[in-house]
Homo-oligomer: A and B are copies of this chain.
Amino acid sequence: MTGPRYTPLVASLPETVPFVGPETQERERGAPFRARIGANENVFGPSPRAIEAMQREAAEIWKYGDSTSYDLRNAIAAHHGISPENVMVGEGIDGLLGYLVRLVVAQGDAVVTSDGAYPTFNYHVAGFGGVLHKVPYAQDAEDLPALLAKAAEVDAKLVYFANPDNPMGSWKQGAEIAAQLDNVPEGTLLVLDEAYVEFAPDGTAPEIGSEIDIEDPRVIRFRTFSKAYGMAGARVGYALAAAPLIRAFDKIRNHFGMNRTAQAGALAGLQDREWLEQTIEKVAAARGRIAAIAQANGLSALPSATNFVAVDCGGDGALAKAVLEGLSKRGVFVRMPFVAPQNRCIRIGAGTEADLDALEEALPGALAEARENAG
């Protein structure tokens, strides 16, 4: 008896996973974290209205979710001033990125991203046999002109660009991105990941209509309820794109894949603009405090338009990793960039006061220990 015959592609894939979750780390260390500020989650949580909507809908969980996410899709469309035909709701940006890669990437197809950018995108590309071409960051930011040049060079089907960027928190003006659309090579699709854009200054997102035509076939944008809306565990993201591309998702997506309470929660959360504004303020204040804590420890915080801050530990990747491990030992969960020179930093999430108290307490010891071991 032999096992199943995997496809040659699957047989060639490694068994690594994009991220180790905080729960797994907690089980390994035998204790919960004091501060969970490593996964870019939004500790301030969703609107109370979203929680209430999810709780109400829990009693209706015997029904499959609406396969077209009709109400949510229409509300999103109204919010952006576009047609529902330009909106695809899916199981988080991760789920939607998987579908998108599947739509366009056959084995051997070229895809371009930044070296050190979102690993889950790379995971999907590898999972469908795409060939990744990586462009270095420039001044801790994804470099759109270089990405587009590389896309032209390798005849890429997709080019990934996150604005704001994860893991560094840097950002570009929307107008600057829009101005480069004419440099998207023929047959390349620009994947504009705007997961964190609600935290960013006005003008970071290219404006629909005046800056990017929603029917422009060269670009697809991704948004999420996991970050500013505080619903990472719900798995709700959406894509904004030309209607034919949106329709293409229907060929392959899991039509009844949306959790019903998540649909209801996202709809309620979208409508609570006041909560969103308050969250953005709280996150900005937390970024300020992280920067102050960094400075008090002789470190510098990079500017951020997200709900996390990259803090330069002042050495190489090994030093930053030692700081991260020291923080973890002291109950503070953070993550860090994977690639040099960004990996001189640790990435700290905008926590609650209590979270950042824990960070403030833990950082001096973690830093001293890391420097000692490095010295």
- Chain A interface residues toward B at CB < 8 A: 1-10, 13-15, 17-24, 27, 36, 39, 41-46, 50-51, 54-55, 57-68, 70, 91-92, 94-95, 98, 102-106, 109, 127, 157-158, 186-187, 189, 216-218, 220, 226, 230-235, 242, 244-245, 247-248, 250-252, 254-262, 265
Contact = CB atoms under 8 A, between A and B. Distances in A.
15 contacts: A2-B186, A3-B217, A4-B189, A6-B248, A13-B251, A15-B251, A19-B255, A21-B64, A22-B63, A24-B68, A41-B63, A45-B62, A46-B62, A58-B58, A127-B252
B91 A62 contact: no
B62 A24 contact: no
Question: Quick one: copies of this chain in the complex?
Answer: 2
A14 B247 CA distance: 11
9 tightest CB-CB pairs across the interface, nearest first?
Answer: A233-B260, A3-B217, A21-B67, A4-B189, A23-B66, A7-B106, A54-B58, A259-B259, A55-B55
Contacts of A261: 54, 58, 233-234, 259, 261
Contact of A10 (B41, B44, B251): B251
User: What secondary structure prevails in chain A residues at the interface with B?
Assistant: loop
B62 A42 contact: yes
A92 to B, nearest CB: 7
A257 B235 CA distance: 7
